[in-house]
Amino acid sequence: MDIRQDLEDLFGLKSVEYKSNLSKEELFHEAIANDRGRTRVDGPDDDQKAFPTKLGVDGPLVFYTDPTCTGRPVQDTFAVAWPDTEESVWWKNDFKKFDPDKFEALMKRAAEHLNERGSTLYVKDVFCGNDSSYAVPYRFVGEYATHALFAHNMFPKGIEGVGDEDAKRITLLNVPSFRCDPDRDGTNSERVVVADFKRRVVLVLGRADYCGVNKKTMFTAMNYQLPAMGHMSMHCSANIGKRGDGAILFGLSGTGKTTLSADPDRLLIGDDEHAWTHNGVSNLEDGCYAKLIDLDKGAEPVIAAALSMPGTLIENVPPLPGKRMEDTDPQDLDLADNSITENTRFSYPLTANPNVADGAKGPAPETIVLLTADAFGVLPPVAILEPKEVMYHFVQGFTAKLAGTEVGITEPKAAFSACFGAPFMARYPSVYAQRLAEKMEATSARCILLNTGWGGGPYGVGKRISIHDTRALLNAALNGDLHEEGMEYEVHPVFGMKMPTSCPEVDSKILNPRNTWDDKDAYDTAAEKLRDMFRKNFEDKGFSDLGIEPVM
């Protein structure tokens, strides 16, 4: 269908101009010339938002979001509560119900706003998913060329064999210049992100111009759609070994999901969002969206090199004092400068990584890794999980973080995020757990819990498990060594986990975490405290009612 006719039928857009499917170079120049909005709290709504560096079109675009939206606006994120979809959605504080009548009226008002302004909208047609058996056409439509460039970077193009694209397409309309009225529109503020799973439409209205909104909202939509197709949608990284053996690594931020999947001896499928279907594992995306704050260029050479690539996108990194961005080499930017936000970001194509798997696809995984970074220092560095334990730890999605950066505050804080990505999981956790169980049973996949956190005591007392030991444990798991016949195990008396008693290249003393603590009584107390946190979260979330068996 013609783009203009399609968008008129869908939204009622009649008096707008479209710039459709421009090249990255064209979008680069359009963003600099035309993307205008607020970049300072007390600033005007017509500030320039996108800038070139000294490299011009041969380098990155630098974009500044509204200062109130330097991350996902979770309290302004909704889905339409249609009667025929309401019961299947996992409603929660960061994914709330939106009244269907309010949504219809709001969509009409957004279109009237654009028609009255005679707006110019950028359209970028891409896909979500690299496998044509499930890939969904994704049409970005919005006021900022930067967002269209971001969509080009982050999503696959030209996936052949999808079929019936018009019927499958999800369309996201992004209108930063619109202001919601909470009393009139049913929103929490002047901005809103609301997904309509029934009509396959997403509205992003108001000061919600953080680029990641255009990525994570699509991931949420896919997390609703893929399970209904019998597929497993996953917030994980994935790679392939030299034997053709696949692996997936689930984990929250700071657990090593990206770092551990970037292995010179394995081909990278992707580092964030994937589907597991009858064809194997495939990346939903075609790009990476990396954190830049305090980037160690020596440790992350791929990201460092991509900073100077044409068509990449740097988000919210401040300019150097007294120097125009146009006169700045991107390699000279101060990546430790958090004066705008801690959440500085960088979007670049997946192909910037070395050793990317052909088509960002691979086989079903032989090994599944659940990552955690236990700052309490009590979980074993590695544990072998039985199927019921996999389901339990998958829906819990545990890691432990430091409570804060204030001097003297060293007490860790538990963090639970179901399915290792609760905000983006549109269906109940049991749906994804069931899909994972089915896939594991069909492929005889093995699973480990890999702890990249502390040993010998909690944070501030013990030491973080070395990357050498973590890599050795992971490699042993990928090789099947930890599951070999004859491998001896201890069962943890508090957590009930099977802990291998030996592993190549690892001191066997660390494999039972109690052995690494000088004060054994303190260890026992800390382990029981963490177990009780698991139990409380399990009860609070009602996981038993969802059919998950408690194992602690």
pLDDT for 189-248, tens place per residue? Answer: 999 999 999 999 999 999 999 999 999 999 999 999 999 999 999 999 999 999 999 999
Interatomic CA distance for residues 542 and 537, integer angstroms: 8
Residue 72 annotated in active site: yes
Catalytic residue among 38, 72, 139, 231: 72
Q: Which residue has the tokens 């936000």?
A: 341
Give the Cα-Cα-Cα angle 43, 173, 310 (nearest 5 degrees): 70
Whole-prediction pTM = 0.93
Cα–Cα nearest to 279, from 264, 269, 266, 289: 269
Return the CATH number of 288-354, one of 2.170.8.10, 3.30.200.20, 3.40.1110.10, 3.30.420.40: 2.170.8.10
Catalytic residue among 15, 253, 351, 501: 253
Contact 128, 360 (CB under 8 A): no
Catalytic residue among 147, 257, 427, 492: 257
Would you give the DSSP letter of residue 357?
A: P
User: What is the reported pLDDT for 410?
Assistant: 53
Q: Provide the 3-class DSSP secondary structure of residue 451.
A: strand
pLDDT for 84-138, tens place per residue? Answer: 999 999 999 999 999 999 999 999 999 999 999 999 999 999 999 999 999 999 9
Catalytic residue among 187, 233, 258, 344: 258
Q: Where in the chain is the domain with CATH 2.170.8.10?
A: 288-354
Contact 55, 329 (CB under 8 A): yes
Q: Where in the chain is the domain with CATH 3.40.449.10?
A: 3-49+73-230
Catalytic residue among 38, 139, 200, 216: 216
Residue 345 annotated in active site: yes
Residue 443 annotated in active site: no
| Average pLDDT of every residue of the chain | 95
Largest distance between two CA atoms of the chain: 74
Cα–Cα nearest to 215, from 302, 288, 316, 135: 288
Q: Where in the chain is the domain with CATH 3.90.228.20?
A: 367-546
* CATH 3.40.50.10490 for domain 3-49+73-230: no
Cα–Cα nearest to 309, from 337, 290, 285: 290
Whether the pLDDT of residue 1 is over 70: the answer is no
Residue 146 annotated in active site: no
Q: 367-546 — its CATH code?
A: 3.90.228.20
Would you give the DSSP letter of residue 208?
A: -
- Per-residue burial over 296-309, b if 16 or more Cβ lie within 10 Å, else e, is eeeebeebbebbbb
Residue 257 annotated in active site: yes
Give the Cα-Cα-Cα angle 273, 279, 280 (nearest 5 degrees): 50
User: What is the reported pLDDT for 405?
Assistant: 36
E strands present in 120-242 = 120-128, 136-142, 170-175, 192-196, 201-205, 232-240
Residue 272 annotated in active site: yes
How far, rounded to the nearest angstrom, does the alpha carbon of residue 347 sit from its chain's CA centroid? Answer: 13
Catalytic residue among 66, 131, 263, 272: 272
Catalytic residue among 49, 169, 345, 361: 345
- Per-residue burial over 137-169, b if 16 or more Cβ lie within 10 Å, else e, is bbbbbbbbbbbbbbbbbbbbeebeebeeeeebb
Contact 355, 267 (CB under 8 A): yes
pLDDT for 377-409, tens place per residue? Answer: 999 999 999 999 999 999 999 999 765 433 444
